[in-house]
Amino acid sequence: MRKALKDAVVVITGASSGVGQATAEEFARQGSRLVLAARDAVALQKVARTCRDLGAAVLVVPTDVTDADAVRDLAGKALSFGKIDVWFSNVGVGAVGRFQETPIEAHEQVIRTNLIGHVNDAHAAIPVFLKQGHGTFINMISLGGFASTPFAAAYSASKFGLRGFSEALRAELADEPDIHICDVYPTFMDTPGVAHGANYTGRRLSVPPPVYDARRAARAVVRLAQYPRSAVTVGVVADLARLAHFLAPNTTSRLLARLTSSYLRRAPRAERSNGNLFRAPANPGGIEGGWRSERRVPIAAVAAAAVVGLALAAVIGGVPRTSYRRH
């Protein structure tokens, strides 16, 4: 059954840029009432103005999701609309670098934000859903939830952990037919996220193609709110990476590590930076990051297919053969 979004109350964390901003605008077009949260109050107000111009009622609540008390306060303020229908748990940060060269504080902050932050969101939202008898909680995970990300070990740990958390929560709530836990697994999106992230490689980072419009992920989130289901992927590369990792996880991870290492050896030098790990970025950047290049998409499709081919070869090569010839 399609859930109506007109006048639905939607909480969006990480709403100040990227997919969060795109999703806020998409829900605004649906006539939803929005509660926007992120660390950057100024950026949130800018997003709120756009959403109000689209006809939405908007409440801005600056929030750091690593602070459980602040997230509970966010839920309380959202209830000034009388209910919470959808909670989009969208905050995510990253730190790129060799594991031992990345400060332990950075590893901790990635996990605190990407995993504990989502746990805080759910811990604030689920009691509200249980009390009112309905609600949809949507976790932004990424393809990193089922395919490891070498040179971003803490990010990988946080996303694998978030997938497990989401599955466990979904199982606990299986007897609540009108409460839904949904996961979104996008491939690389054209957002400011990579530019905002921590970089301990000493090299300039880029995004491998194909890179999709963040509004595509936003539309997927809105569809989940209308037609809840356990999980959706966004972009063919996410599906191919999931298949390759399922067939041959070690081969896939090693290939990704070699490709990343090769890129970093050739990339221009750049300053090491904590990025937005410990504070909001100076420039939130809007929805787009400027990473898209349509000419590079066919190359990426071939590369993704090659990964699956290698995975299949590894599986076939590793299957013991039994001879049935009679001696």
Report the alpha-carbon angle 58-61-65, nearest 5: 130
Own/partner pairs, 79-82, CB within 8 angstroms, 24+ separation? 79/128, 81/9, 81/33, 81/35, 81/57, 82/9
Q: Which helix (H) or strand (E) holds 33?
A: strand 33-37
Residue 273, token pair as written in the block? 């930076």
CA–CA separation, 213 and 219 (whole Å) = 10
With 0-12 CB in 10 A as exposed, 13-18 as middle and 19+ as buried, what is 242?
A: middle
Q: How many CA atoms lie within 13 A of 11 on its CB side?
A: 39
155 is catalytic: yes
Task: Quickly count: other Cβ atoms within 10 Å of residue 191's Cβ.
Answer: 29
Task: Give the pairing type, strands 9-13 and 58-60.
Answer: unpaired
Annotated catalytic residue: which of 155, 185, 200, 212? 155
CB 7 within 8 A of CB 31: yes
Locus of tokens 């990704």 = 256
CB 37 within 8 A of CB 48: no
Residue 126, token pair as written in the block? 């689920």
Indicate which residues carry an active-site annotation.
155
